[in-house]
Chain A
Amino acid sequence: MNEAWRYFLLFFGASLVANILLIRFIALCPFFGVSTSLETSLGMSISVIFVMTMATSVSWIAWNYVLKPLGVGEFLYIPSFILIIASLVQFVEMVIKKTSPPLYRAMGIYLPLITTNCAVLAAATESVKPGFFTKLNVPYHYGFPEALVYTIGVAAGFSLVLILFAAMRERLELAPIPKFFRGVPIAFITAALFSLAFMGFAGMFNL
């Protein structure tokens, strides 16, 4: 298996086969909260890709150069990763506010929400403990490039499903739906069908 193919598989697996929203049920709160309009979904997606990539990079460095050598990783990884994410989000928010007001207007309101986006913590944990969330016995540790590719895959999967789902929900507004299924219930039924479709990806590779 050559290098490029391995990276492709990693990306493909993270984004589609083990899609973070529909297959692993992580980050569903922003998924249902934000997906009411296409525009907000786009803003959220861009913010998530940006923050997730940064958070995983910092967490990976913190784990491999600080937590693991000191032997405190097992019981300090939760507080330290979440602190990294929370402070990173706050830092990014300040930088964007000062440097690019238009970007801040587009992304600003989603940034604080990302702190509580489980996907960011999940991706950071998975990249230092491979197989933690997929419950597979991955025999090796991700190097920095692998962790990065993995994270971008997760974020891309998140964005793809979020945007698709938002487009679908805008259509649903106009559809004739039984009275008690309007709003939240029909959104979940739609998500179920989405999930069913994504389960098909699992059969594409012998992973």
Chain B
Amino acid sequence: MIVEEKKKTLWGELRKGFITTNPLLVLMVGLCSALAISTRVENCIFMGLAVIFVLTCSNVIISLIRNFIPDQVRIPIYIVVIASFVTIVDLTLKTIPAVYERLGVWIPLIVVNCIILARAEGYASSAKVSHALMDGLGIGMGYTTVLLIMSVFRELFGTGKIVLFDKTIINLHIKAVPVILIMFPGAFITFALLSALLQWYQARKKPGTEEG
């Protein structure tokens, strides 16, 4: 019975990152990188993996040492933990020059990506290690999901095709594409539409649950 209950909460910790506490759409953190790199699906895959890795590792470490950290210096300590994992990702991605060239700018900025510090401060610092692990994975995957939705939309309609690892996967064969989608304003517009969609979904769901 206890095991059953624990499993349930662990699953809940993992699942909540997708809709209820989605970092981008609901918590509104980590927007900078999401808007900037969602021009290509390929970028988003690597960025998503990097964020999942850093978030999960830092959540686990911070949860492990949470009882030893003096309250006054907790933020610098969190940042040092996060910065170490980011440096690992930074040096690892340097081995794939094509990706690093496009993503390189955003890797150091994962340190100050509010998602990770927000989870460290708001969740991992007062949670069990197993929960912190699941939370890191869930939030990371929620971030990656939104990133993928945005990038598919922007790349498909902004350039007319999706190129993944030098292979054209989908080609719409349209001549005049709305180039604005892959330019700066397109990021804001895409996110606005996604956010409106979520509000519509939540408004539709609410009366339904009240009836049931």
Chain A residues engaging chain B, CB cutoff 8 angstroms: 22-29, 32-33, 75, 77-79, 82-83, 86-87, 90, 112, 115-118, 120-122, 125, 132-133, 135, 179-189, 191-193, 195-196, 199
Instruction: Write 16 A-B pairs (CB below 8 A) sorted by A numbering.
Output: A24-B36, A25-B32, A25-B33, A25-B36, A33-B28, A79-B84, A79-B87, A83-B76, A83-B79, A86-B75, A115-B79, A116-B117, A118-B32, A121-B109, A184-B195, A186-B192
The stretch that binds A, out of B42-50, B141-149, B196-204, is: B196-204
The stretch that binds A, out of B61-69, B124-132, B182-190, is: B182-190
Would you give the shortest CB distance from A189 to chain B, in whole angstroms?
Answer: 5
Q: How many residues of B contact A (CB 8 A)?
A: 42
A28-B35, A78-B87, A180-B203 known, 6 other contacts, Cβ within 8 Å: A26-B109, A86-B79, A185-B193, A188-B191, A192-B189, A195-B184
Interface of B is mostly: helix
Instruction: Please name all residues of chain B whose beta carbon is closer than 8 Å to the beta carbon of A87 when the two chains form the complex.
Output: 76
Number of A-B contacts (CB under 8 A): 123
Would you give the shortest CB distance from B139 to chain A, in whole angstroms?
Answer: 15
Would you give the shortest CB distance from B26 to chain A, in whole angstroms?
Answer: 10
The residue that B83 contacts in the complex, of A78, A90, A184, A185, with Cβ under 8 A, is: A78
Please state if B112 and A32 are interface contacts (CB–CB under 8 Å).
Answer: no
B114 at interface by CB-CB < 8 Å: yes
Instruction: Please name all residues of chain B whose beta carbon is closer than 8 Å to the beta carbon of A78 when the two chains form the complex.
Output: 83, 86-87, 90, 108, 111
Given A118-B32, A180-B200, CB of A79 within 8 Å of CB of B184: no
